[in-house]
């Protein structure tokens, strides 16, 4: 667990798993002796929200029990969108290039190479469809929910929609995309001939594992941070509507 008062440098050295979060928040290294709070403020980030995300990544048992209203849902959506962009523009292209470098230096048959590249292409398509649905359906719903909660008289149509749909439905349908990617590691380890360059093969498998873990932590964060925060606001709006 990290706190606002902790040195950001120490937080990263103690917990290097925080590093993939930095580009999603727009945080750059070189923060000297600044605390977590000071780095967040200098980067224009809500420190409470950063701590919710960071601690959810670092501790599987972490559940934000208090202070969920300290950050806006707009802040959540901005972070999720930045994370999606990082996956699509950095993480997946980088992983694809590592796979291609490994395959190009191998003695695999064309059929075996096509098996790996086809698997990855199918995964990227599945991932893109998942992200598109979130950004076209779920995230706009969250922003509208926050907007309606700030209105003196929420739209009756939206209030009726709340009775029929909840963020809990998203949680139930939430695809675990890391499982498909983990199967790619299994394909390389169990079903392909040995690679001559075993060091490169090990690096690819290790990097795949890191990406799988990041996806797991991202999905867990949505389930443990996003869903409770949105549920809280949904219930608040329903109660206010019932009292009106």
Q: Is 227 domain-assigned?
A: yes
pLDDT score of 17: 87
212 contacts 182 by C-beta, under 8 angstroms: yes
Does one domain contain both 50 and 164? Answer: no
Does one domain contain both 116 and 224? Answer: yes
Structural domain of residue 165, as residue ranges? 72-243
Q: Is 1 domain-assigned?
A: no
Domain count, the chain: 2
Burial of 22 from C-beta contacts in 10 A (0-12 / 13-18 / 19+):
middle
Instruction: Note the pLDDT tens digit of each residue in 115-160.
Output: 999 999 999 998 999 899 889 988 999 999 999 988 888 888 888 8
- The DSSP code sequence of 45-108 is --HHHHHHHHHHHH-TT----S-GGGS-HHHHHHHHHHHHHHIIIIIHHHHHHHHHHHHHTS--
Does one domain contain both 44 and 101? Answer: no
**Alpha-helical runs (H) found in 105-197:** 110-133, 139-149, 156-164, 167-173, 178-186
Q: Is 111 domain-assigned?
A: yes
Q: Is 64 domain-assigned?
A: no
Does one domain contain both 100 and 186? Answer: yes
Which residues in the chain show pLDDT less than 50?
Answer: none
236's CB contacts (< 8 A; 6+ apart) are 149
Does one domain contain both 12 and 109? Answer: no
Q: Is 63 domain-assigned?
A: no
Does one domain contain both 108 and 51? Answer: no
Does one domain contain both 105 and 47? Answer: no
Q: Is 37 domain-assigned?
A: yes
* Joined tokens for residue 33: 């002796």
Q: In this structure, is the dihedral angle defined by the CA atoms of residues 69, 218, 25 and 83, taken in order, positive or negative?
A: negative
Q: pTM, whole model, 2 decimals?
A: 0.85
Q: Is 25 domain-assigned?
A: yes
What does residue 7 show for φ and ψ, rounded to 5 degrees?
A: -65, 130
């Amino acid at each position: 667990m990290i706190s606002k008062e902790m040195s950001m440098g120490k937080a990263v050295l103690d917990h290097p798993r925080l590093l993939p979060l930095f580009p999603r928040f727009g945080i750059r290294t070189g923060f000297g002796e600044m605390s977590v709070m000071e780095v967040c403020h200098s980067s224009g980030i809500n420190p409470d929200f950063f701590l919710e995300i960071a601690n959810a990544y670092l501790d599987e048992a972490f559940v934000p029990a208090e202070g969920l209203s300290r950050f806006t849902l707009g802040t959540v959506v901005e972070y999720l969108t930045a994370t999606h962009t990082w996956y699509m523009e950095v993480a997946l292209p980088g992983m694809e290039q590592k796979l291609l470098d490994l395959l190009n230096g191998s003695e695999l048959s064309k059929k075996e190479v096509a098996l790996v590249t086809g698997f990855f292409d199918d995964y990227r398509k599945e991932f893109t469809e998942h992200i598109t649905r979130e950004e076209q359906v779920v995230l706009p719903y969250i922003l509208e929910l926050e907007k309606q909660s700030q209105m003196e008289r929420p739209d009756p149509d939206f209030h009726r929609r709340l009775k029929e749909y909840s963020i809990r439905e998203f949680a139930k349908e939430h695809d675990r995309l890391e499982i498909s990617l983990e199967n790619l590691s299994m394909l390389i380890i169990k079903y392909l001939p040995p690679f001559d360059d075993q060091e490169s093969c090990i690096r690819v498998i290790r990097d795949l594992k890191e990406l799988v873990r990041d996806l797991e932590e991202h999905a867990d964060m949505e389930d443990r941070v996003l869903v409770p925060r949105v549920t809280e606001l949904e219930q608040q709006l329903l109660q206010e509507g019932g009292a009106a």
